[in-house]
């Protein structure tokens, strides 16, 4: 889409993810947010639409908040956010949904090996990671993003509950937030029709 419309497109894997080096277990919200900021500062030029899925949606919200506080001119270049099943405040979400045994593993062993349904796990969820996440909670304070936030969420998502997006919408101020619910969609929303919806929404802000 970017190529056909003559738009720039920048994407990357966090350390410990995808093709990037590093250990997933060594990662924290602080580290991945620093990497996001470094990539944005070095390579993101002109007007920007931030697109993030799951944890990437959370990082997009945290990046906007950090830039608004520390670099308003850079924040002003962000025209919209498109978030796919955003796992905002994800460490809190994880802890609240852990079984008693998973919580014991974190407390007693320092890590819980979370199973994955996608053939790329288990994910080691460490106490260090969870504790670090507490420093980056969006929390209960109302948040005005100051630009459109468009969320796409599958109603059959087993990883980030649909209700989590409803909580985010209730948390936002300024009448900026819109939601596209996908009745038969799951977490990754990678079917052709899901991607077409995402591109349609991104295109509405990138033009």
Q: Give the domain CATH number at 73.
A: 3.40.50.1820
Overall residue count recorded for the chain in this entry: 207
pLDDT top residue among 130 and 120: 130
% the chain with pLDDT above 90: 86
140 pLDDT above the threshold of 80: no
Is position 102 within any domain?
A: no
Q: Are 2 and 9 in contact (CB under 8 A)?
A: yes
Residues spanned by the domain of 57: 20-97+139-206
- Residue 8 in domain: no
Structural domain includes residue 175: yes
Other CB atoms within 10 Å distance of the CB of residue 202: 19
Domain count, the chain: 1
Give me the phi and psi of 128, to 5 degrees please. Answer: -60, -45
pLDDT at site 97 = 92
Which position has the token pair 């106490």? 127
Return the SS3 of 141.
Answer: coil
- Quote the pTM value: 0.93
* Cα torsion angle, 32, 34, 37, 42, sign: negative
In a domain, 85, yes or no: yes
Average pLDDT score, the chain? 94
For residue 89, being part of any structural domain is answered with yes
Q: Is residue 57 part of a domain?
A: yes
Rounded Cα distance between 10 and 25, Å, is 25
From the list 98, 90, 27, 28, the residue with the least C-alpha distance to 61 is: 90
Is the pLDDT at 54 greater than 70? The verdict is yes
On whether residue 113 sits in a domain, the answer given is no
| Residue 41, CB-side half-sphere exposure with 13 Å CA sphere | 12
Q: Is residue 37 part of a domain?
A: yes
Asked if pLDDT for residue 119 goes beyond 70, the answer is: no
Encode pLDDT of 68-102 as tens digits.
999 999 999 999 999 999 999 999 999 999 999 99
């Amino acid at each position: 889409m970017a190529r056909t419309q003559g738009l720039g497109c920048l994407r990357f894997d966090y350390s410990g993810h995808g093709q990037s080096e590093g250990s997933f277990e060594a990662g924290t919200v602080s580290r991945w947010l620093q990497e996001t900021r470094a990539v944005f500062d070095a390579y993101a030029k002109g007007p920007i639409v931030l697109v993030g899925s799951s944890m990437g949606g959370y990082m997009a919200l945290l990046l906007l908040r950090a830039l608004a506080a520390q670099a308003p001119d850079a924040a002003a270049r962000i025209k919209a956010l498109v978030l796919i099943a955003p796992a905002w405040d994800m460490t809190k979400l994880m802890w609240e949904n852990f079984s008693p045994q998973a919580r014991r593993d974190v407390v007693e062993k320092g890590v819980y090996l979370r199973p994955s349904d996608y053939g790329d796990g288990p994910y080691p969820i460490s106490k260090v990671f969870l504790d670090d996440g507490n420093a980056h909670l969006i929390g209960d304070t109302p948040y005005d993003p100051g630009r459109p936030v468009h969320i796409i969420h599958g109603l059959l998502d087993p990883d980030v509950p649909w209700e989590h997006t409803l909580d985010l919408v209730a948390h936002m101020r300024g009448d900026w937030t819109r939601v596209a619910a996908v009745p038969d969609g799951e977490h990754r929303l990678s079917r052709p029709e899901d991607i077409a919806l995402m591109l349609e929404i991104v295109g509405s802000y990138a033009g």
